[in-house]
């Protein structure tokens, strides 16, 4: 029996806009394509800067946002984010998958002042200095002493 799919994977996953009954503006403000400079910080104090790209859109019937960031030759990572009122007012759930480095991180995200903070067990990601056409992002990891240490930072500019 030959069964034809109703929609393609891209059409089934991506959405043109948010669902009518949801406010996805926390991460929806980033919908579009961006270029970034990623600085990765090593424990010895050295750092490496690489150019990459980041693409945001709506997904899953307009009930979530998704984004893919690409560091050529290093990683293609994808996040799926959605508001979860059962976790608290204004709280989102976020899962990031990075198959190149074999990582998965889960977070609860919310606005903290003008920033967006994603808290995980051993990671904290922050979107800050948010403007319509630029923002900054940082990735911090919990150190053995419990303090947060900077692992990566992005300077990001809108392309479309």
CA distance 160 to 35: 10
- Give the pLDDT band (50/70/90) at residue 83: very high
How many angstroms separate the most distant Cα atoms in the chain?
61
pLDDT at position 5 over 70: no
**Helix, strand, coil shares, percent, the chain, to 5:** 10, 60, 35
- The mean pLDDT of the chain is 94
β-strand 64-71 against 47-59: which pairing, if any? antiparallel
Is the whole model's pTM more than 0.85, yes or no? Answer: yes
CA distance 85 to 103: 27
Distances (CA, A) of 30 to 24, 66, 127, 130, 132: 10, 10, 11, 10, 8
First to last CA, the chain: 43
- What is the tens place of the pLDDT at every residue in 95-116? 999 999 999 999 999 999 999 9
- DSSP class of residue 90 equals T
Token reading at 154: 């992005």
Q: Which fold has domain 9-42+49-158?
A: Lipocalin (2.40.128)
């Amino acid at each position: 029996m030959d069964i034809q799919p109703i929609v393609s994977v891209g059409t089934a996953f991506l959405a043109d806009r948010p669902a009518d009954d949801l406010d996805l503006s926390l991460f929806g403000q980033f919908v579009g394509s961006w270029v970034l400079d990623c600085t990765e910080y090593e424990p010895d104090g050295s750092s490496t800067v690489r150019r990459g790209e980041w693409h945001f859109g709506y997904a899953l019937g307009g009930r979530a946002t998704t984004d893919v960031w690409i560091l050529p030759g290093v990683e293609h990572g994808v996040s799926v984010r959605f508001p979860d009122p059962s976790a608290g007012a204004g709280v989102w759930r976020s899962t990031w998958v990075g198959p190149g480095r074999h990582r998965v991180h889960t977070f609860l995200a919310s606005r903290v002042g003008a920033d967006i903070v994603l808290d995980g067990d051993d990671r904290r990601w922050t979107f800050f200095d948010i403007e319509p056409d630029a923002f900054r992002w940082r990735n911090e990891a919990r150190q053995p002493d419990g303090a947060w240490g900077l692992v990566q930072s992005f300077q990001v500019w809108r392309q479309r």
